[in-house]
Amino acid sequence: MSNTCVNCGEVLNGRADKKFCDNYCRNQFNNKKNSDVNNLMRNVNNTLRKNRRILISLLENGEEMKKIPKDILLKKGFDFKYLTEIYTTQKGKSYHYVYDMGYLNLSDDWLLIVQKIKD
Ligand SMILES: [Zn+2]
């Protein structure tokens, strides 16, 4: 079984645990891996920022909470997969937070939008 370079796929000679042709291939591979991670982090951060912006836009000045149909969040592009924290109360209610803004599922169709109270 021959070993191939993780970066360019060339057949490798020499030690069995060798992973790259040379330093060039090693660097190129590591740079690409880092840029993939950076892109992933940028996308996640952008999605979190967008989610927070949507939640803020639903509360009017001075409101700390408001009942909103789930549909409205979906239409605005809220991505329910991206949260920063889930807080479950003693009564078993789970608040889903994006930084300081969050929501509580009231039913399948309704959410309660909340602003985190500083404690
Ligand atoms: Zn190579």
Choice among 10-14, 80-84, 88-92, 93-97 with the minimum mean pLDDT? 10-14
Q: Is residue 111 part of a domain?
A: yes
Q: How far, in Å, is the centroid of ligand 1 from the Cα of 15? A: 15
Instruction: Confirm whether 6 is domain-assigned.
Output: no
Amino acid, res. 114? V
In a domain, 4, yes or no: no
Q: Please determine, for residue 16, whether its predicted confidence score (pLDDT) is greater than 90.
A: no
72 domain-assigned: yes
Nearest-angstrom CA–CA distance, 90 and 84: 20
pLDDT 10s digits, 47-85: 999 999 999 999 998 899 999 999 999 999 999 999 999
Neighbours of ion ligand 1 (CB under 5 A): 5, 7-8, 10, 21, 25
Residue 94 lies in a domain: yes
Instruction: Give the number of domains in the chain.
Output: 1
Distance CA 31, CA 27 (A): 6
pLDDT of residue 80: 97
Q: How far is the CA of 43 from the centre of ligand 1 (A)?
A: 30
